Amino acid sequence: MKRTLAILATFAILAVSCGGGGTGAAPTATTAVTSAPTAAATPAWKPTRPIELVVQAAAGGGSDIFARKIADILTKEKLVDQPINVVNKPGGSGAVAYNYVLQKKGDPHVLATVTLSYLATPLQEKPGFTFKDFSNLATLAVDDFIAVVKAESSYQSLTDLINAAKAKPKEIKVGGTQVGSSDSIIPALIEQATGAQFNYVTFRSGAEVNTAILGNTVEWQAANPGEAKALIDGKKLRAVAAFAPQPLKGYESVKTAKDQGVNVIWEQFRGIIAPGGIGEAEKAFWQKTLTDMTKSAEWAKYMEDNTLRALVKTGGDAEKYVDETNTTLRTVLTKLGLIK
């Protein structure tokens, strides 16, 4: 149990904790990181028809919540004067949604949410696109992760889950949304660190995984706190570990994986993209608009309610961050044997 993945854990922190994708002597992974927006002060373009905000996962999960909150705030704050329609396109570890956006080249009225699968899917599945085929408008937030089980579960800790998976290889099921996403990488890191073997089962969204846990279809998942909060507060689910350097705000009583003998730390960014080929004025509008949105009181409440941390980067800063995160993720996935 004391074996660790110090190198991989460091890569995980590097993937999302600071500008440029690396920590060096920079703040720890729990430090909120922001950068000044690079968008023009007064964009020369604004939307002229309804906006389509594409979500790469099914309704009810973290990405869906993220998208709908963005649409709601942009409308309420009158930052966008056109309707914003949230459209869920799950499937293919994000490939369905991103291929759809790919076909909208040059259209600034189409946006999409992105998480780590935006980078992991092209690295693993070779779907015919990479992040370079899109306009990387902004990163907005960082997710931490917790291990959750059914409230009545006999598993009281991450140690219990690992011991069970060692005793019954491939019989302890962990639910997730996409191979190569954070909820699959975390169990893989645990397996590498401990020798345990889980059975990873995919669903269309984090909300569906929660339902599977409640229905005893799977034993646990690595969830972002926002997806599980309502069920934890309602005593339906129980957190047994945090994959962070220190206990998370609101989950102070939940021991970190490191404190349980497994040095696995993982985070993921959340951002917004547009199709490739849009103009500079169109990019500038969305960069400024999304930055302005993050200054609203409602956004601050959303961040706190969902245990998210700020990572506001736009323009060249966002492009650099995504590029360097992609390089780091390639290293992690290679070391895990998920890509060659």
Question: What pLDDT, on the 0 to 100 scale, is given for residue 202?
Answer: 92
Summarised one tens digit per residue, pLDDT across range 258-284 is 999 999 999 889 999 999 999 999 999
Q: Please state whether beta strands 220-223 and 173-176 pair in parallel, antiparallel, or not at all (unpaired).
A: parallel
pTM of the predicted model as reported, rounded to 2 decimal places? 0.73
Residue with the two structure tokens 């639910």: 175
Residue 37's identity, in one-letter code, is P
The conformation of residue 255, written as its DSSP 8-state character, comes to P
Residues facing 88 on adjacent strands: 55
What are the DSSP calls for 195-254, one per residue? ----EEEE-SSHHHHHHHHHTTS-SEEEE-HHHHHHHHHTTSEEEEEE-SSSPPTT-TTS
Residue 337's identity, in one-letter code, is G
Sequence-ordered list of residues with C-beta below 8 angstroms from that of 79, at least 6 positions apart, any chain: 73, 289, 292, 293
Question: What pLDDT, on the 0 to 100 scale, is given for residue 213?
Answer: 97
Question: What pLDDT, on the 0 to 100 scale, is given for residue 267?
Answer: 86
Question: How far apart (Å, rounded) are the C-alpha atoms in residues 233 and 307?
Answer: 14
Question: What pLDDT, on the 0 to 100 scale, is given for residue 4?
Answer: 35
Q: What is the gyration radius of the CA atoms in the chain, in angstroms?
A: 19
Residue with the two structure tokens 């440029």: 20
Would you call 231 exposed, middle or buried from its count of C-beta atoms within 10 A (0-12, 13-18, 19+)?
buried
Instruction: Show the low-confidence residues of the chain (pLDDT under 50).
Output: 1-40
Continuous segment of H or E residues that includes residue 338: none
Question: What pLDDT, on the 0 to 100 scale, is given for residue 12?
Answer: 43
Would you call 336 exposed, middle or buried from its count of C-beta atoms within 10 A (0-12, 13-18, 19+)?
middle
Question: How far apart (Å, rounded) are the C-alpha atoms in residues 156 and 175?
Answer: 18
Would you call 209 exposed, middle or buried from its count of C-beta atoms within 10 A (0-12, 13-18, 19+)?
buried
